[in-house]
Amino acid sequence: MSAAEEVVTEAAAVEAVPKRAMTLGYGTSLVVLAALILTPLFVKNFIIFQMTMLLIYGLAVLALNILTGGSGQFSLGQSAFYAVGAYTSAILMEHAGMNYALTLPVAGLICFGFGFLFGQPALRLSGVYLALATFALATAMPQLLKLGYFEHWTGGVQGLVVTKPDAPFGLPMSQDMWLYYFTLAITIAIYIASVNLLRSRSGRAFMAIRDNEIAASAMGVDVALYKTLAFGVSAGITGVAGGLGAIAVQFVAPDGYTITLAISLFLGMVVGGVGWLPGSIVGSAFIIFVPNIAEGISKGLSGAVFGVLLFLVIFLVPHGARQVAIIAQQLIGKLKKN
């Protein structure tokens, strides 16, 4: 058997998802949007803060979803991009006195470049080997941030404290609420852009690569370019999420961006449904709230309880939230017929 044949017969790493199944219908989208806009008006600041974190991790999961669900490449190194974004925002705000909103595009651009460059060597790797290479990146990142060379800017192990922005134009809103709506606006913009990206020519190229690399290149897709581009876009979005995270948490330190974060994001993507963009927010909710639930059940065994819950989810709904959504849709369809 020739090498080419071997590659062709190898099962695709990620199951093919048709692009229409990647988004929500308009009606559902509007309901979700309304809920996201209205809820903060009725809840405590602490809940608003949690919702902000939900959106931020949702963005990071979405970024991974574009990479894995869209172009079929694995990454366990998203925490590294998240850290670079967070530090970029924090350093620009605290040392250069830049406005917080302006630091986000910078964080996104730097991470895009970083991801694009990282995508170059990663091109030679696929499947589990790529996952390992990105894993190495994630393990290295906290230590790089501690390096003495950068300590003047990064604050070393002590980290940096970030000042939380007030609502502009004297709007009568708490800092938390303002930050929430600010994050929501960015999340919606990035979500719409991502949906459009996946529906565009580039998105089709991503998916062609995911489904069959050789066929894609035979059809004239520049495989190398699009693979690195997917890495760049994913890293860029993760960077913006990281920047927002730094502003919301008001603190960056190397210990906040360990491999655990990368694994959490990966987990969020799987639970939300690989390749289903709205699932990102469900996955994000899972990684934020389920540890709290597990802790509520047993303090000493919180890790084990979390493991059991995760196992149940993977066992009962292996395709994550997407599967739940499809079942719900079918049920509604049946009810309508009756």
Partner 1 sequence: MFATRKLAALSAAFAIVAAWSSAALAQKKYDPGVSDTEIKIGNIMPYSGPASAYGIIGRTEAAYFKKINEAGGINGRKINFISYDDAYSPPKAVEQARKLVESDEVLFIFNSLGTPSNSAIQKYMNAKKVPQLFVATGATKWNDPKDFPWTMGWQPNYQSETQIYAKYILKNMPNAKIAVLFQNDDYGKDYLKGLKDGLGQKASSMIVAEESFETSEPTIDSHIVKLKASNADVFIDIATPKFAAQAIKKVAEIGWKPTHFLNNVSASVGAVIRPAGYENAQDIISAAYLKDASDKQWDSDAGMKEFYAFMAKDFPEGDKLDGGTVTGYGVAQTLVQVLKQCGDNLTRENVMKQAANLRDFRTEVLLPGIKINTAPNDFAPISQLQLQKFKGEKWELFGDVISADVGG
Residues that bind partner 1 (CB under 8 A): 44-47, 49-50, 53, 143, 146, 156-159, 161, 245, 249-251, 253, 255-256, 258, 260-261, 288, 291, 295, 299-300, 302-303
Q: Whole-number minimum distance, CB 161 to partner 1, in Å?
A: 5
Q: Whole-number minimum distance, CB 109 to partner 1, in Å?
A: 23
Nearer to partner 1, 49 or 182 (CB): 49
What is the longest distance spanned by two Cα atoms in the chain? 71
CA atoms within 13 A on the CB side of 290: 21
14 phi/psi in degrees, rounded to 5: -120, 135
Q: Whole-number minimum distance, CB 86 to partner 1, in Å?
A: 9
Q: Whole-number minimum distance, CB 145 to partner 1, in Å?
A: 12
Residue 238 one-letter amino acid: T
With a CB cutoff of 8 Å and minimum separation 6, the contacts of 79 are 138, 141, 257, 258, 259, 260, 261, 262, 265
Structure tokens at 48: 């608003």
Cβ distance 56 to 66 under 8 Å? no
Nearer to partner 1, 161 or 214 (CB): 161
CA atoms within 13 A on the CB side of 257: 35
Cβ distance 64 to 266 under 8 Å? yes
How many H-runs (helices) and E-runs (strands) does the chain carry?
16, 2
Nearer to partner 1, 3 or 41 (CB): 41
Q: Whole-number minimum distance, CB 306 to partner 1, in Å?
A: 8
Nearer to partner 1, 217 or 302 (CB): 302
Nearer to partner 1, 242 or 320 (CB): 242
Q: Whole-number minimum distance, CB 156 to partner 1, in Å?
A: 7
Nearer to partner 1, 44 or 124 (CB): 44
